[in-house]
Amino acid sequence: MRNIENRLALAWLGATMAVAGWCSTAGGAVIVIHPSQDNSIYSESNSSNALGGLFAGETQDQALRRALLKFSIAGSGIPAGATITSVSLGLTQTKIGPGTSATFELHRLSSAWGEGTSSGTGSGGLATAGDATWNYRLYSTSLWTSPGGDFGSTSGTATIGTTVPSLYTFASQSGMVADVQSWLNSPGSNFGWILRAADESPGITTAREFGSRESLGQEPALTVNFIVPEPGTLGLLGTGVSGLLLRTRRRR
């Protein structure tokens, strides 16, 4: 009977964690989140690319591309009050021009922006209502404070090579961890990141395309490691397990 009780307790714990969408690790728990919203903006026009790939970098014509990504942290299943210990962002590079390896940056966005129904290739497509563009954060009703996006200092960097297709990763960095923790604690402050080339000086060709959330199997993936709060979440799990065991004993 004791073995049956143990198996029931483990089953309860596993089922509860599965519902939350994360799994336990030696140092806490981990979850992989795909974007709830993404888009690309283009310096030479009010084009957008809500349903196409994500573009970032500088073209041979010295036009800039920047990609916008938002991940729903508070709605991902991470318990409120959890401590974020590390995060990493994986991007699948799907196309590159004549450029070489380059450093790219993530910056935390400070204004809400949109994803409409625009679609295009490297130059984007005609913006639709609610799209983000170089000038508009919500086309065509709300402008960015600064053309090209409203964002803060660098949260993370990564060197993106020239292999296509290939997965490149922004390894965990303190700024990225702080951003995700803030988005969990204060969901209303979550406007996501902007992805841009670190060097946007004229003549530095760095433009490339990455899979977007519409790219099945190549969508951006944010891996979040966290520690669940004590005694809140684990205490609740313990109460559920204890209740299950008590009911089992009463039936004997």
- Residue 111, number of CB atoms within 10 A of its CB: 16
pLDDT at 27: 56
pLDDT at 23: 72
- Residue 137 main-chain phi, psi, to 5 deg: -85, -25
Note the pTM of the prediction, 2 decimals: 0.84
Residue pair 139/128 in contact (Cβ under 8 Å)? The answer is: yes
pLDDT digits (tens, 9 = 90+) for 37-53: 999 999 999 999 999 99
Which tokens in the block code for residue 100? Answer: 């070489």
pLDDT at 24: 67
pLDDT at 22: 67
Low-confidence ranges of the chain (pLDDT < 70): 1-22, 24-27, 231-252
pLDDT digits (tens, 9 = 90+) for 204-219: 999 999 999 999 999 9
- Residue 102 main-chain phi, psi, to 5 deg: -150, 155
Rounded alpha-carbon distances, angstroms, from residue 152 to 49, 110, 164, 195:
23, 7, 30, 12
